Amino acid sequence: MTPPQTKRPRTSTKPAAKPATKRATKPRATKPRATKAVIARRIREAGERALAEAEKRRNGAEPGPEPLPELGGQKGPEPTRYGDWEKKGIISDF
């Protein structure tokens, strides 16, 4: 059996932390903040650009092909249109 190892105290190679001192702070140069009116205008303009882009995309889109008729399906309205199955007036919930 090997002898148990003894724990050595941890030593750090980093220099000790400096004590916290109060230092003089000078005001930082900050960017001027936008006012609520400027922000509202920017949002409105972005919305108008998005609507114009969507309208342009819709106008440029080609209509898709007509859906093919269902072969062998139910006659009449879709039986699952209300979230349950209806057949011959009998409803079964699923």
Rama region for 47: left / alpha / beta (φ>0; ψ in -120 to 50; rest): alpha
pLDDT of residue 37: 93
| pLDDT value at residue 36 | 93
Contact 92, 85 (CB under 8 A): yes
Collapsing DSSP to helix, strand or coil, 9 comes out as coil
Q: For residue range 20-64, what is the model confidence (pLDDT) as tens digits? A: 666 667 777 777 788 999 999 999 999 999 999 999 998 988 888
Q: What are the beta bridge partners of residue 91?
A: 86
Greatest alpha-carbon span in the chain: 87
